[in-house]
Structure 1
Amino acid sequence: MNRSAVSYKNHRFPPQIIAQAVWLYFRFPLSLRLVEEMLLERGIVVSYETIRRWGRKFGAAYAKQQRRKRPSRKDIWHLDEVVITIGGRKHWLWRAVDQDGYVLDEIVQARRNTKAAKRLLVRLLKKQGLAPKRIITDKLRSYGAARRDVMPTVEHRSHKGLNNRAENSHLPVRKRERVMQGFRSAGGLQRFISIFSAIKNHFVPPHQKHSALAIQLYRIRAMAQWKAAARAVS
Protein backbone atom coordinates (compact mmCIF):
# COMPACT_ATOMS: atom_id res chain seq x y z
CA MET A 1 0.00 0.00 0.00
CA ASN A 2 1.33 3.45 -0.89
CA ARG A 3 1.52 5.76 2.11
CA SER A 4 0.27 8.73 0.11
CA ALA A 5 -2.87 6.75 -0.80
CA VAL A 6 -4.14 6.80 2.79
CA SER A 7 -5.35 10.02 4.36
CA TYR A 8 -7.26 11.14 7.45
CA LYS A 9 -9.00 13.77 5.35
CA ASN A 10 -12.78 13.91 5.94
CA HIS A 11 -12.47 11.79 9.12
CA ARG A 12 -13.97 13.66 12.07
CA PHE A 13 -12.00 11.66 14.64
CA PRO A 14 -8.33 12.52 15.23
CA PRO A 15 -5.59 10.05 14.20
CA GLN A 16 -4.90 9.12 17.84
CA ILE A 17 -8.39 7.71 18.33
CA ILE A 18 -8.40 5.90 15.00
CA ALA A 19 -5.01 4.34 15.75
CA GLN A 20 -6.17 3.33 19.23
CA ALA A 21 -9.25 1.59 17.86
CA VAL A 22 -7.27 -0.26 15.19
CA TRP A 23 -4.65 -1.30 17.78
CA LEU A 24 -7.28 -2.66 20.17
CA TYR A 25 -9.00 -4.66 17.45
CA PHE A 26 -5.91 -6.29 15.94
CA ARG A 27 -3.77 -6.59 19.04
CA PHE A 28 -6.27 -8.31 21.36
CA PRO A 29 -8.96 -11.00 20.86
CA LEU A 30 -11.76 -8.42 20.84
CA SER A 31 -14.81 -8.19 18.65
CA LEU A 32 -15.69 -4.93 16.92
CA ARG A 33 -18.56 -4.43 19.36
CA LEU A 34 -16.24 -4.85 22.34
CA VAL A 35 -13.85 -2.26 20.93
CA GLU A 36 -16.87 0.03 20.44
CA GLU A 37 -17.79 -0.46 24.09
CA MET A 38 -14.26 0.19 25.34
CA LEU A 39 -14.12 3.46 23.41
CA LEU A 40 -17.54 4.44 24.71
CA GLU A 41 -16.29 4.00 28.30
CA ARG A 42 -13.70 6.67 27.45
CA GLY A 43 -16.36 9.01 26.10
CA ILE A 44 -15.73 8.22 22.43
CA VAL A 45 -18.96 7.46 20.58
CA VAL A 46 -18.24 5.51 17.41
CA SER A 47 -20.02 2.56 15.79
CA TYR A 48 -18.47 -0.85 15.32
CA GLU A 49 -18.99 -0.53 11.56
CA THR A 50 -16.83 2.60 11.56
CA ILE A 51 -14.15 0.68 13.47
CA ARG A 52 -14.36 -2.06 10.83
CA ARG A 53 -13.77 0.50 8.09
CA TRP A 54 -10.86 2.01 10.01
CA GLY A 55 -9.29 -1.42 10.32
CA ARG A 56 -9.52 -2.06 6.59
CA LYS A 57 -8.35 1.42 5.57
CA PHE A 58 -5.61 2.12 8.11
CA GLY A 59 -4.59 -1.26 9.51
CA ALA A 60 -2.41 -2.27 6.56
CA ALA A 61 -0.86 1.21 6.36
CA TYR A 62 0.11 1.12 10.05
CA ALA A 63 1.44 -2.43 9.83
CA LYS A 64 3.52 -1.67 6.75
CA GLN A 65 5.43 1.03 8.61
CA GLN A 66 6.48 -1.22 11.48
CA ARG A 67 10.03 -2.52 11.43
CA ARG A 68 10.54 -6.00 10.04
CA LYS A 69 13.00 -8.39 11.61
CA ARG A 70 16.18 -8.63 9.56
CA PRO A 71 16.55 -12.05 7.88
CA SER A 72 19.60 -14.19 8.64
CA ARG A 73 21.16 -17.27 7.05
CA LYS A 74 21.07 -18.81 10.52
CA ASP A 75 17.27 -18.63 10.64
CA ILE A 76 15.21 -21.78 11.02
CA TRP A 77 11.84 -21.77 9.33
CA HIS A 78 9.00 -23.71 10.94
CA LEU A 79 6.22 -24.40 8.44
CA ASP A 80 2.72 -25.64 9.13
CA GLU A 81 -0.81 -25.46 7.78
CA VAL A 82 -4.18 -25.38 9.51
CA VAL A 83 -7.65 -25.92 8.10
CA ILE A 84 -10.18 -23.09 8.35
CA THR A 85 -13.74 -23.56 7.16
CA ILE A 86 -15.19 -20.59 5.28
CA GLY A 87 -18.74 -20.74 4.00
CA GLY A 88 -18.83 -24.50 4.49
CA ARG A 89 -15.68 -25.08 2.41
CA LYS A 90 -12.25 -26.05 3.71
CA HIS A 91 -9.37 -23.66 3.19
CA TRP A 92 -5.80 -24.03 4.42
CA LEU A 93 -3.87 -21.30 6.16
CA TRP A 94 -0.18 -21.98 5.47
CA ARG A 95 2.18 -20.27 7.90
CA ALA A 96 5.93 -19.87 8.38
CA VAL A 97 7.54 -18.68 11.62
CA ASP A 98 11.19 -18.46 12.58
CA GLN A 99 13.01 -19.86 15.60
CA ASP A 100 11.75 -16.96 17.76
CA GLY A 101 8.11 -17.39 16.75
CA TYR A 102 8.21 -14.33 14.47
CA VAL A 103 5.61 -14.76 11.72
CA LEU A 104 7.41 -14.63 8.37
CA ASP A 105 4.48 -15.11 6.04
CA GLU A 106 0.99 -16.58 5.75
CA ILE A 107 -1.09 -17.53 2.77
CA VAL A 108 -4.66 -18.81 2.45
CA GLN A 109 -5.03 -21.56 -0.14
CA ALA A 110 -7.76 -23.95 -1.21
CA ARG A 111 -5.45 -26.96 -1.45
CA ARG A 112 -3.13 -28.93 0.81
CA ASN A 113 -0.69 -30.28 -1.72
CA THR A 114 2.79 -29.83 -3.19
CA LYS A 115 1.74 -26.90 -5.38
CA ALA A 116 0.44 -25.04 -2.32
CA ALA A 117 3.59 -25.82 -0.30
CA LYS A 118 5.77 -24.67 -3.19
CA ARG A 119 3.87 -21.40 -3.42
CA LEU A 120 4.56 -20.74 0.27
CA LEU A 121 8.30 -21.43 -0.14
CA VAL A 122 8.59 -19.23 -3.24
CA ARG A 123 6.84 -16.36 -1.43
CA LEU A 124 9.11 -16.80 1.57
CA LEU A 125 12.30 -16.71 -0.49
CA LYS A 126 11.13 -13.59 -2.32
CA LYS A 127 10.09 -11.85 0.91
CA GLN A 128 13.13 -12.83 3.02
CA GLY A 129 15.67 -12.45 0.25
CA LEU A 130 17.73 -15.46 1.33
CA ALA A 131 17.31 -19.11 2.23
CA PRO A 132 17.30 -20.32 5.84
CA LYS A 133 19.72 -22.66 7.56
CA ARG A 134 16.99 -25.27 7.98
CA ILE A 135 13.26 -25.82 7.58
CA ILE A 136 11.20 -27.87 9.99
CA THR A 137 7.79 -29.31 9.12
CA ASP A 138 5.39 -32.03 10.11
CA LYS A 139 5.28 -35.23 8.07
CA LEU A 140 3.20 -33.84 5.21
CA ARG A 141 5.09 -35.06 2.13
CA SER A 142 4.21 -31.96 0.14
CA TYR A 143 6.84 -29.98 2.05
CA GLY A 144 9.63 -32.33 1.06
CA ALA A 145 8.65 -32.30 -2.60
CA ALA A 146 8.37 -28.50 -2.63
CA ARG A 147 11.68 -28.07 -0.81
CA ARG A 148 13.52 -30.28 -3.30
CA ASP A 149 12.21 -28.12 -6.12
CA VAL A 150 12.62 -24.65 -4.58
CA MET A 151 15.60 -24.92 -2.18
CA PRO A 152 17.27 -28.31 -2.66
CA THR A 153 20.41 -27.44 -0.63
CA VAL A 154 18.51 -26.43 2.52
CA GLU A 155 18.32 -28.99 5.33
CA HIS A 156 14.82 -30.31 6.00
CA ARG A 157 13.70 -31.97 9.21
CA SER A 158 10.28 -33.58 9.13
CA HIS A 159 8.98 -34.49 12.57
CA LYS A 160 5.74 -33.55 14.28
CA GLY A 161 7.38 -33.18 17.69
CA LEU A 162 9.91 -30.64 16.37
CA ASN A 163 7.25 -28.37 14.90
CA ASN A 164 5.43 -27.20 18.03
CA ARG A 165 6.52 -23.61 17.40
CA ALA A 166 4.62 -23.44 14.12
CA GLU A 167 1.61 -25.34 15.47
CA ASN A 168 1.36 -23.03 18.50
CA SER A 169 1.48 -19.99 16.22
CA HIS A 170 -2.01 -20.91 14.96
CA LEU A 171 -3.60 -20.38 18.40
CA PRO A 172 -4.04 -16.57 18.22
CA VAL A 173 -5.84 -16.89 14.86
CA ARG A 174 -8.05 -19.64 16.29
CA LYS A 175 -9.04 -17.30 19.13
CA ARG A 176 -9.91 -14.56 16.68
CA GLU A 177 -11.88 -17.00 14.57
CA ARG A 178 -14.09 -17.79 17.58
CA VAL A 179 -14.51 -14.13 18.55
CA MET A 180 -15.43 -13.18 14.98
CA GLN A 181 -17.68 -16.25 14.63
CA GLY A 182 -15.71 -17.36 11.61
CA PHE A 183 -14.30 -15.60 8.58
CA ARG A 184 -16.56 -14.59 5.71
CA SER A 185 -14.22 -15.12 2.75
CA ALA A 186 -10.72 -16.32 1.90
CA GLY A 187 -9.78 -12.81 0.78
CA GLY A 188 -11.08 -11.35 4.04
CA LEU A 189 -9.03 -13.85 6.02
CA GLN A 190 -5.89 -13.04 4.00
CA ARG A 191 -6.34 -9.30 4.58
CA PHE A 192 -6.97 -9.79 8.28
CA ILE A 193 -3.98 -12.04 9.02
CA SER A 194 -1.57 -9.83 7.06
CA ILE A 195 -2.37 -6.98 9.47
CA PHE A 196 -2.92 -9.14 12.55
CA SER A 197 0.44 -10.93 12.34
CA ALA A 198 2.42 -7.78 11.50
CA ILE A 199 1.03 -6.06 14.60
CA LYS A 200 1.58 -9.16 16.71
CA ASN A 201 5.21 -9.33 15.55
CA HIS A 202 5.68 -5.68 16.45
CA PHE A 203 4.40 -5.91 20.02
CA VAL A 204 5.61 -9.36 21.13
CA PRO A 205 9.10 -9.11 22.72
CA PRO A 206 11.89 -11.33 21.38
CA HIS A 207 12.50 -14.50 23.37
CA GLN A 208 15.87 -13.31 24.63
CA LYS A 209 14.23 -10.51 26.64
CA HIS A 210 13.52 -12.42 29.84
CA SER A 211 13.24 -9.80 32.60
CA ALA A 212 10.01 -7.95 33.33
CA LEU A 213 11.80 -4.60 32.96
CA ALA A 214 13.22 -5.52 29.55
CA ILE A 215 9.77 -6.60 28.35
CA GLN A 216 8.16 -3.39 29.63
CA LEU A 217 10.79 -1.21 27.95
CA TYR A 218 10.35 -3.12 24.70
CA ARG A 219 6.60 -2.59 24.75
CA ILE A 220 6.96 1.10 25.56
CA ARG A 221 9.20 1.54 22.51
CA ALA A 222 6.82 -0.52 20.39
CA MET A 223 3.90 1.69 21.39
CA ALA A 224 5.89 4.84 20.59
CA GLN A 225 6.67 3.44 17.14
CA TRP A 226 3.00 2.57 16.62
CA LYS A 227 1.96 6.14 17.44
CA ALA A 228 4.63 7.47 15.09
CA ALA A 229 3.25 5.26 12.32
CA ALA A 230 -0.22 6.69 12.92
CA ARG A 231 1.11 10.22 12.55
CA ALA A 232 2.96 9.25 9.34
CA VAL A 233 -0.28 8.22 7.63
CA SER A 234 -1.58 11.62 6.63
Structure 2
Amino acid sequence: MKITDIKTYLVEAHRRNWVFIEVETDEGVTGVGEATIEPFERTMVTLIEDYKRTVIGKDPSAIEYLWEDRYRGQFLRSDLLVNVALSAIEIACWDIKGKVLGVPCYELFGGPCRETVPFYGNYWFMKTRMGSTSVGEYAESAARAVENGFRALKWSPFGYVAHSMTPEQEHVTMECVRRVREAVGPDVHLMVDAHGRFDLPQAKRLAQRFEEFDLYFME
Protein backbone atom coordinates (compact mmCIF):
# COMPACT_ATOMS: atom_id res chain seq x y z
CA MET A 1 0.00 0.00 0.00
CA LYS A 2 1.28 3.47 -0.93
CA ILE A 3 0.17 7.02 -0.20
CA THR A 4 -1.15 8.63 -3.37
CA ASP A 5 -2.51 11.98 -2.18
CA ILE A 6 -3.33 14.17 0.81
CA LYS A 7 -6.40 16.38 0.63
CA THR A 8 -6.93 19.28 3.02
CA TYR A 9 -10.28 20.66 4.18
CA LEU A 10 -10.63 24.09 5.78
CA VAL A 11 -13.91 24.12 7.73
CA GLU A 12 -15.51 27.25 9.17
CA ALA A 13 -16.48 26.74 12.82
CA HIS A 14 -17.87 29.96 14.29
CA ARG A 15 -14.89 31.95 15.62
CA ARG A 16 -12.20 29.70 14.15
CA ASN A 17 -11.49 27.36 11.27
CA TRP A 18 -10.82 23.64 11.56
CA VAL A 19 -8.23 21.94 9.36
CA PHE A 20 -8.80 18.30 8.45
CA ILE A 21 -6.76 16.14 6.12
CA GLU A 22 -7.51 12.93 4.25
CA VAL A 23 -4.64 10.64 3.29
CA GLU A 24 -5.48 8.54 0.22
CA THR A 25 -3.84 5.27 -0.85
CA ASP A 26 -3.55 3.18 -3.99
CA GLU A 27 -5.77 0.52 -2.41
CA GLY A 28 -8.68 2.89 -1.82
CA VAL A 29 -8.30 3.01 1.96
CA THR A 30 -8.26 6.54 3.36
CA GLY A 31 -7.42 8.00 6.75
CA VAL A 32 -8.51 11.24 8.41
CA GLY A 33 -6.38 13.53 10.58
CA GLU A 34 -6.73 16.98 12.11
CA ALA A 35 -4.29 19.89 11.92
CA THR A 36 -6.20 22.76 13.51
CA ILE A 37 -4.07 25.50 15.04
CA GLU A 38 -5.49 28.98 15.20
CA PRO A 39 -4.82 31.51 13.81
CA PHE A 40 -2.56 29.71 11.31
CA GLU A 41 -5.10 27.57 9.49
CA ARG A 42 -4.17 28.67 5.98
CA THR A 43 -0.49 28.37 6.81
CA MET A 44 -1.17 24.81 7.95
CA VAL A 45 -2.90 23.98 4.67
CA THR A 46 0.16 25.20 2.77
CA LEU A 47 2.54 23.31 5.05
CA ILE A 48 0.66 20.05 4.57
CA GLU A 49 0.75 20.59 0.81
CA ASP A 50 4.53 20.87 1.10
CA TYR A 51 4.73 17.66 3.12
CA LYS A 52 2.49 15.87 0.64
CA ARG A 53 5.24 15.89 -1.95
CA THR A 54 7.57 14.10 0.45
CA VAL A 55 5.23 11.31 1.58
CA ILE A 56 3.52 10.32 -1.68
CA GLY A 57 4.68 6.84 -2.57
CA LYS A 58 5.47 5.96 1.06
CA ASP A 59 3.89 3.11 3.03
CA PRO A 60 1.25 4.57 5.42
CA SER A 61 1.61 1.58 7.74
CA ALA A 62 5.25 2.49 8.49
CA ILE A 63 4.09 5.20 10.86
CA GLU A 64 7.19 5.48 13.03
CA TYR A 65 9.43 5.62 9.96
CA LEU A 66 7.32 8.32 8.32
CA TRP A 67 7.43 10.49 11.44
CA GLU A 68 11.18 10.10 12.02
CA ASP A 69 12.00 10.55 8.34
CA ARG A 70 10.07 13.80 8.04
CA TYR A 71 10.91 15.15 11.51
CA ARG A 72 14.65 14.54 11.28
CA GLY A 73 14.78 15.51 7.63
CA GLN A 74 14.32 19.20 8.40
CA PHE A 75 16.19 21.90 10.27
CA LEU A 76 13.42 23.41 12.45
CA ARG A 77 12.46 20.22 14.26
CA SER A 78 10.80 21.81 17.28
CA ASP A 79 8.59 24.20 15.32
CA LEU A 80 4.98 24.03 16.53
CA LEU A 81 3.42 24.22 13.07
CA VAL A 82 5.69 21.45 11.80
CA ASN A 83 4.72 19.17 14.67
CA VAL A 84 1.00 19.81 14.15
CA ALA A 85 1.27 19.05 10.43
CA LEU A 86 3.20 15.83 11.04
CA SER A 87 0.76 14.83 13.77
CA ALA A 88 -2.18 15.18 11.37
CA ILE A 89 -0.47 12.88 8.87
CA GLU A 90 0.35 10.41 11.64
CA ILE A 91 -3.26 10.38 12.89
CA ALA A 92 -4.49 9.66 9.37
CA CYS A 93 -2.00 6.81 8.99
CA TRP A 94 -3.19 5.23 12.25
CA ASP A 95 -6.73 5.53 10.89
CA ILE A 96 -5.65 3.70 7.73
CA LYS A 97 -3.90 0.95 9.69
CA GLY A 98 -6.94 0.40 11.89
CA LYS A 99 -9.20 0.13 8.85
CA VAL A 100 -6.88 -2.35 7.13
CA LEU A 101 -6.70 -4.53 10.24
CA GLY A 102 -10.40 -4.14 10.95
CA VAL A 103 -9.94 -2.77 14.47
CA PRO A 104 -10.44 0.62 16.12
CA CYS A 105 -7.26 2.59 16.74
CA TYR A 106 -7.44 2.13 20.50
CA GLU A 107 -6.78 -1.58 19.97
CA LEU A 108 -3.50 -0.63 18.30
CA PHE A 109 -2.52 1.36 21.39
CA GLY A 110 -3.01 -1.46 23.89
CA GLY A 111 -6.78 -1.74 24.20
CA PRO A 112 -9.42 0.31 26.01
CA CYS A 113 -8.79 1.83 29.44
CA ARG A 114 -12.43 2.65 30.17
CA GLU A 115 -15.89 2.04 28.77
CA THR A 116 -17.21 5.57 29.16
CA VAL A 117 -15.61 9.01 28.89
CA PRO A 118 -16.96 11.98 30.88
CA PHE A 119 -17.52 15.16 28.92
CA TYR A 120 -18.30 18.78 29.68
CA GLY A 121 -20.40 21.38 27.94
CA ASN A 122 -18.69 24.19 26.08
CA TYR A 123 -20.38 27.02 24.16
CA TRP A 124 -23.54 26.39 26.18
CA PHE A 125 -23.59 30.18 26.56
CA MET A 126 -23.35 31.06 22.85
CA LYS A 127 -26.34 33.38 22.92
CA THR A 128 -24.77 35.47 25.64
CA ARG A 129 -21.65 37.61 25.76
CA MET A 130 -20.11 39.13 28.86
CA GLY A 131 -20.21 42.90 28.49
CA SER A 132 -23.31 42.90 26.29
CA THR A 133 -25.59 40.73 28.43
CA SER A 134 -26.14 40.24 32.13
CA VAL A 135 -24.63 37.62 34.40
CA GLY A 136 -28.19 36.49 34.98
CA GLU A 137 -28.39 35.32 31.37
CA TYR A 138 -25.27 33.25 31.92
CA ALA A 139 -26.96 31.64 34.90
CA GLU A 140 -30.09 30.92 32.87
CA SER A 141 -28.02 29.36 30.08
CA ALA A 142 -26.17 27.19 32.60
CA ALA A 143 -29.43 25.97 34.12
CA ARG A 144 -30.74 25.03 30.67
CA ALA A 145 -27.53 23.13 29.91
CA VAL A 146 -27.94 21.09 33.10
CA GLU A 147 -31.57 20.41 32.21
CA ASN A 148 -30.30 19.06 28.89
CA GLY A 149 -28.10 16.54 30.69
CA PHE A 150 -24.72 18.22 31.14
CA ARG A 151 -23.01 17.51 34.46
CA ALA A 152 -19.97 19.72 33.82
CA LEU A 153 -19.66 23.16 32.21
CA LYS A 154 -16.71 25.26 31.11
CA TRP A 155 -16.69 28.87 30.02
CA SER A 156 -14.72 32.11 30.15
CA PRO A 157 -16.35 34.53 32.60
CA PHE A 158 -13.81 37.28 31.88
CA GLY A 159 -15.57 39.01 29.00
CA TYR A 160 -13.24 41.01 26.78
CA VAL A 161 -10.65 41.54 29.51
CA ALA A 162 -7.02 41.12 28.47
CA HIS A 163 -3.87 40.98 30.63
CA SER A 164 -5.25 42.80 33.68
CA MET A 165 -8.61 43.52 35.30
CA THR A 166 -10.10 46.58 36.91
CA PRO A 167 -11.85 46.09 40.27
CA GLU A 168 -15.20 46.47 38.50
CA GLN A 169 -14.31 43.82 35.90
CA GLU A 170 -13.17 41.45 38.62
CA HIS A 171 -16.41 42.00 40.52
CA VAL A 172 -18.49 41.20 37.41
CA THR A 173 -16.44 38.05 36.82
CA MET A 174 -16.93 36.82 40.38
CA GLU A 175 -20.62 37.61 40.24
CA CYS A 176 -20.94 35.66 36.99
CA VAL A 177 -19.33 32.56 38.51
CA ARG A 178 -21.38 32.95 41.67
CA ARG A 179 -24.66 33.14 39.76
CA VAL A 180 -23.78 30.16 37.58
CA ARG A 181 -22.88 28.08 40.65
CA GLU A 182 -26.16 29.02 42.31
CA ALA A 183 -28.05 28.12 39.14
CA VAL A 184 -26.56 24.63 38.70
CA GLY A 185 -26.11 23.62 42.34
CA PRO A 186 -23.18 21.87 44.06
CA ASP A 187 -23.21 18.62 42.07
CA VAL A 188 -22.18 20.05 38.68
CA HIS A 189 -18.51 20.52 37.84
CA LEU A 190 -17.64 24.08 36.81
CA MET A 191 -14.45 25.04 34.99
CA VAL A 192 -13.26 28.46 33.84
CA ASP A 193 -10.87 29.19 30.98
CA ALA A 194 -8.63 32.27 31.04
CA HIS A 195 -7.18 31.57 27.57
CA GLY A 196 -3.69 32.46 28.78
CA ARG A 197 -4.53 36.14 29.14
CA PHE A 198 -3.24 36.75 32.70
CA ASP A 199 0.21 36.82 34.24
CA LEU A 200 1.00 34.54 37.20
CA PRO A 201 0.17 37.00 40.04
CA GLN A 202 -3.21 37.88 38.50
CA ALA A 203 -4.01 34.23 37.79
CA LYS A 204 -3.17 33.23 41.39
CA ARG A 205 -5.31 36.04 42.76
CA LEU A 206 -8.29 34.96 40.66
CA ALA A 207 -7.80 31.30 41.54
CA GLN A 208 -7.87 32.14 45.24
CA ARG A 209 -11.07 34.12 44.83
CA PHE A 210 -12.64 31.26 42.87
CA GLU A 211 -12.09 28.82 45.74
CA GLU A 212 -15.45 29.58 47.33
CA PHE A 213 -17.22 28.38 44.16
CA ASP A 214 -15.58 24.92 44.26
CA LEU A 215 -14.33 24.96 40.67
CA TYR A 216 -13.20 21.68 39.15
CA PHE A 217 -10.31 23.45 37.47
CA MET A 218 -9.12 26.79 36.12
CA GLU A 219 -7.46 26.61 32.72
TM-score range, shorter chain: under 0.3
* Bigger relative contact order (CA 8 A; separation at least 6): 1
Structure with higher helix content: 1
TM-score (norm 2): 0.25
Larger Rg belongs to: 2
